[in-house]
Amino acid sequence: MRFFEENIRALSSLDPELASAVVAAKAGADLQLVTTKTGRLSLKAGDIALHSLYDPVREAEAWVEYHRESIQRASQLVVLGFGLGYHIIELCKRTPTDVVVVEPRLDVLKTAIESIDLTSVLSRVRILTGNDLSSISKGFTVLEHKPSMSLNSGYFDALYSKLRALKAAKECLRIMVVGPIYGGSLPIAEYCTHALREMGHEVEYVDNSRYRDTYFGIDALTQNKSQRSQLRSLLVDFISETIMTRCEEFKPDFLFALAQAPFTHNALVRLRDLKVVTAFWFVEDFRHLTYWQSIAPFYNYFFVIQKGEFFKRLRDIGANNFSYLPLAACPDVHRKLELSPDELAEYGSDVSFMGAGYYNRRLFFQGLLGFDFKIWGSEWDLNSPLGKCVQRNGERIETEEIVKIFNATKININLHSSTYHEGINPYGDFLNPRTFEVAACGGFQLVDCRPELAEFFEPGKEIICFNSLDDLKRKIRYYLNNPEERQEIAERARARVLKEHTYRHRMEEMLNFVLKHGFELPPWAKGKHDIGTLLQRAGSNTELGKYLAGFIGRGRVGFPEIVEEIASKEGKLSDVEKIFLLMREIKEIYTSRDVHV
């Protein structure tokens, strides 16, 4: 007991909540402190000795030495089992690497804190006692304390499944991204695909834009609206079946669909039966497009760009696993450019707007006709007063040119769309992608005031907003006359986006939410492990370890992949390869017997 107060003080400095729980914990009836042959204390839980009954310190040194190679490779160490902490003390002596210890029994932890001086580790090591794995980071390596695992076998078996899913989600998931046929979420699907691949995941992108011409070509087949609707429905059924076929071949761990992805309810039910984890990102205004009501309950996870009222509406229809996921920018696409004089002349102007001609923009922008003003995008009335400002007769502008416009324009106007307001939507509650994209390009923008802006940028310093036409015109004149201030604000906005608001940030947020809310790998992923775990178990210097090292970079590997690799090669078999082939023969014999019984 003489160590208790100092140990609790050390633990409180890192985790006061856990320290309080340990103080309140009751002594375990099955726990017994035992004095070892060398005079140290050991702990028994029933018949299980958690440390050597002869020399627990020497045992701890040997345990660390056994795991030496794994410890050197890891960016974080996750130790399963605390016991009295001898192995944790020795581990902390040998490495500065971040250490997380999982110990489900508070009574064991309390006994250790009462019995041994643990101050050197309790202020450094994070101890987990439940199922929250949020403190475990990418590149972690698991070290097993075998006696603790034997004592809590059920808990650690379940935890291992979660750790496998966690490692996959942070390092090597097989993800299928399903894009729409057309629309604003189409490039977002491509940006998400790029970000997920950049994060190290294996991604299959289903690009449904190939069906765009067919989808809109239906209009030329018949004037009957009912027949058009039926033909489009049949096309969506066909596309949905092609996605299911690709899904069954690719066998994803996780399927991520973007707004208006052509998935039928029947396909979503089949995916659920196959235990494929599905998520949907609704990157649209829930008030304007309401199809979310019919699909949200069918997805395991539903991500949205609005909060508040939308959250309530989702709860009302029985959707539970939903979360806020705002839009972002893709730095590889939305970037600063060095433009030629000809490009600056073509794409540049004092003021510009890039986007569709929604009702509020058609009215509001008539107040900007006194400026050097260019409008880019489609759905504008060329016969209106704004017609002379519309570039290329309202043609659709590709992303590459949009980026040039953002770069070349002195002041980019960002007015969020509305189909029924005459100017700024006073109830707007989300940020469009343009907010982040202009900033990522290093462009200066004036955006209509929205409460959400302050969550992402510091108004007045990183972004400038306007609340009326007169306010916008005044600020246009001011910032045209103050180019240095304009540039400084744009640079600060760009730095903020690159630091916090890229699609990689959003994909990390999305996967972290999924992990915290019950994500499990599908049945076909069972039996497969990341190659780092296999190497750790085999030992990198063993014959098996040297063979498995050839699979580095292949993501998760299981018995079928190893056998397939052996079968694809020519030449003399190694001893390891012979053993794997023998295992295959034995497996086939017993599988055959099971079939005939």
pLDDT, one tens digit per residue, over 70-113 is: 899 889 999 999 999 999 999 999 999 999 999 999 999 999 99
pLDDT at residue 471 tops 60 = yes
**pLDDT band (50, 70, 90) for residue 584:** confident
Same domain? 144 vs 191: no
Q: What backbone torsions phi and psi does residue 380 show, to the nearest 5 degrees?
A: -105, 145
Tell whether 166 is covered by a domain.
Answer: no
Residue at a domain's end among 261, 289, 324: 324
Name every residue whose Cβ is closer than 8 Å to that of residue 491 and which is 6 or more positions away in sequence: 442
Tell whether 296 is covered by a domain.
Answer: yes
Tell whether 318 is covered by a domain.
Answer: yes
Number of independent structural domains in the chain: 4
Question: Mean pLDDT over residues 390-396, rounded?
Answer: 96
What's the pLDDT score for residue 535? 64
Q: What CATH number does residue 208 fall under?
A: 3.40.50.2000
Same domain? 257 vs 363: no
CA dist., res. 89 & res. 100, Å (int): 13
pLDDT at residue 499 tops 50 = yes
Average pLDDT of the chain?
91
What's the pLDDT score for residue 595? 38
pLDDT at residue 481 tops 90 = yes
**pLDDT band (50, 70, 90) for residue 185:** very high
What's the pLDDT score for residue 564? 74
Residue at a domain's end among 463, 486, 501: 501
b/e 33-45 (16+ beta carbons within 10 angstroms → b): eeebeeebbbbbb
Same domain? 409 vs 532: no
Same domain? 538 vs 471: no
Same domain? 410 vs 531: no
What would the pLDDT profile of 311-370 be if each residue is shown by its tens digit?
999 999 999 999 999 999 999 999 999 999 999 999 999 999 999 999 999 999 999 999
User: Mind spelling out the 3-state secondary structure of 528-591?
Assistant: CEEHHHHHHHHCCCCHHHHHHHHHCCCCEECHHHHHHHHHHCCCCCCHHHHHHHHHHHHHHHHH
Its domain, for residue 423, covers: 341-501
What is the residue whose two structure tokens read 């090597």?
172
Tell whether 23 is covered by a domain.
Answer: yes
Q: What one-character-per-residue DSSP string does 18-74 give?
A: HHHHHHHPPPPTTEEEEE-TTS-EEEEETTEESS-SS-HHHHHHHHHHHTHHHHHH-
CA dist., res. 350 & res. 419, Å (int): 27
What would the pLDDT profile of 505-538 be if each residue is shown by its tens digit?
999 999 999 988 888 888 877 666 666 666 666 6
Cα angle value 148/152/153 (rounded, 5°): 105
Same domain? 206 vs 261: yes
Tell whether 319 is covered by a domain.
Answer: yes
What is the residue whose two structure tokens read 């600060």?
492
What is the residue whose two structure tokens read 């009954």?
53
475 vs 69, which has greater pLDDT?
Answer: 475
Query: Is residue 185 within 8 Å of residue 259, measured between CB atoms?
Result: yes
Element (H, E) at 7: helix 4-14
pLDDT at residue 566 tops 50 = yes
Residue at a domain's end among 280, 296, 324: 324
Helix axes 483-500, 433-440, angle to 10 degrees: 110
What's the pLDDT score for residue 540? 65
Cα-Cα-Cα-Cα torsion 569, 571, 574, 580, nearest 10 degrees, comes to 40
Using alpha carbons, select from 144, 145, 146, 147 the residue that is nearest to residue 48: 147
Using alpha carbons, select from 77, 82, 91 the residue that is nearest to residue 22: 82
Q: What backbone torsions phi and psi does residue 31 show, to the nearest 5 degrees?
A: -90, 135
Token pair for 92: 């902390």
What's the pLDDT score for residue 171? 74
CA dist., res. 255 & res. 271, Å (int): 9
What would the pLDDT profile of 31-44 be if each residue is shown by its tens digit?
999 999 999 999 99
Question: Mean pLDDT over residues 579-588, rounded?
Answer: 73
pLDDT at residue 303 tops 70 = yes
Q: What CATH number does residue 96 fall under?
A: 3.40.50
Tell whether 330 is covered by a domain.
Answer: no
What would the pLDDT profile of 420-465 be if each residue is shown by its tens digit?
899 999 989 999 999 999 999 999 999 999 999 999 999 999 999 9
pLDDT at residue 586 tops 80 = no
What would the pLDDT profile of 106-126 be if each residue is shown by its tens digit?
999 999 999 999 999 998 999
Same domain? 364 vs 453: yes
Same domain? 308 vs 351: no
b/e 277-314 (16+ beta carbons within 10 angstroms → b): bbbbbbbbbbeeeeebeebbebbbbbbbbbeeebeebb
| CA distances in angstroms from 190 to 196, 262, 356, 502, listed in the order given | 10, 16, 21, 13
CA dist., res. 456 & res. 392, Å (int): 34
CA dist., res. 247 & res. 265, Å (int): 16
Q: Are strands 529-530 and 556-557 parallel, antiparallel or unpaired?
A: antiparallel
Same domain? 345 vs 491: yes
What's the pLDDT score for residue 529? 60
Same domain? 241 vs 361: no
What's the pLDDT score for residue 530? 62
Using alpha carbons, select from 452, 474, 473 the residue that is nearest to residue 463: 452
What is the residue whose two structure tokens read 């969550």?
455
What's the pLDDT score for residue 217? 95
pTM, to two decimals? 0.80
Tell whether 334 is covered by a domain.
Answer: no
Q: What is the DSSP letter of 207?
A: -
> What region does 553 belong to: left with phi over 0, alpha with psi -120 to 50, or beta?
left
Same domain? 495 vs 535: no
**pLDDT band (50, 70, 90) for residue 592:** very low
159 vs 532, which has greater pLDDT?
Answer: 159
Same domain? 468 vs 567: no
Tell whether 383 is covered by a domain.
Answer: yes
Share of the chain above pLDDT 90, in %: 77
